[in-house]
């Protein structure tokens, strides 16, 4: 499957079995795929993408975001934006690396592809890159063990 930046995807169960990280959002609920993920390319290794979970619970995450802004003056771990005509939370704090092999299918609405607006896409990527930079300096802002997952995927790409 060719991953296109600006679209939303679902991830195969095999990925979640492989990395076995309890901090990852569960992949299915009531036999339905959830959540879906916004992807952007890793700046270092071609073939690795970062998957940012999307949540329809925008109000819940807006409250969390506002509390972080009150406490820290800003929040770059959650972005609220419109996806498929509805408010959606993009959870940078829950992002993780993945490779194309584990992408199951593109998220569609009524069989139609849904693109994430370019400005929103740019905001998510900008915030995610800031969070990754802070993470690489030793501050834990991302819940899953992204370093361990990244190394698993790096090894898999080298095979």
Give yes or no for a contact between 152 and 102, defined as CB atoms under 8 angstroms apart.
no
Closest residue by Cα to residue 68 from 143, 145, 141: 141
Residue whose token pair is 């408010």: 87
Domains along the sequence of the chain with CATH = 8-158 (3.10.129.130)
3 state SS of 66:
helix
Buried b (16+ CB within 10 A) or exposed e, 79-110: bbbebbeeebbbbbbbbbbbbeebbbebbeee
- pLDDT tens string, the chain, 159 residues long: the values are 688 888 889 899 899 999 999 898 766 555 555 688 999 999 999 999 999 999 999 999 999 999 999 999 999 999 999 998 899 999 999 999 999 999 988 888 888 888 899 999 999 999 999 999 999 999 999 999 999 999 999 999 988
């Amino acid at each position: 499957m060719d991953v296109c930046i600006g679209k939303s995807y679902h991830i195969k169960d095999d990925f979640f079995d492989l990395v076995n990280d309890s901090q990852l959002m569960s992949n299915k609920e009531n036999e339905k795929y959830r959540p879906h993920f916004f992807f952007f390319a890793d700046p270092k290794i071609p073939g690795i993408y970062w998957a940012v979970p999307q949540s329809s619970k925008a109000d819940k995450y807006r409250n969390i975001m506002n509390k972080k802004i009150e406490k820290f003056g800003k929040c770059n771990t959650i972005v609220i934006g419109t996806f498929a005509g509805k408010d959606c939370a993009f959870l940078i704090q829950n992002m993780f690396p993945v490779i194309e092999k584990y992408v199951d299918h593109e998220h569609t609405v009524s069989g139609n592809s849904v693109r994430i607006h370019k400005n929103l896409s740019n905001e998510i990527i900008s915030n995610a890159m800031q969070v990754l930079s802070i993470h690489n300096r030793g501050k834990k802002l991302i819940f899953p063990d992204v370093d361990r997952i990244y190394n698993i995927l790096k090894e898999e790409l080298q095979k």
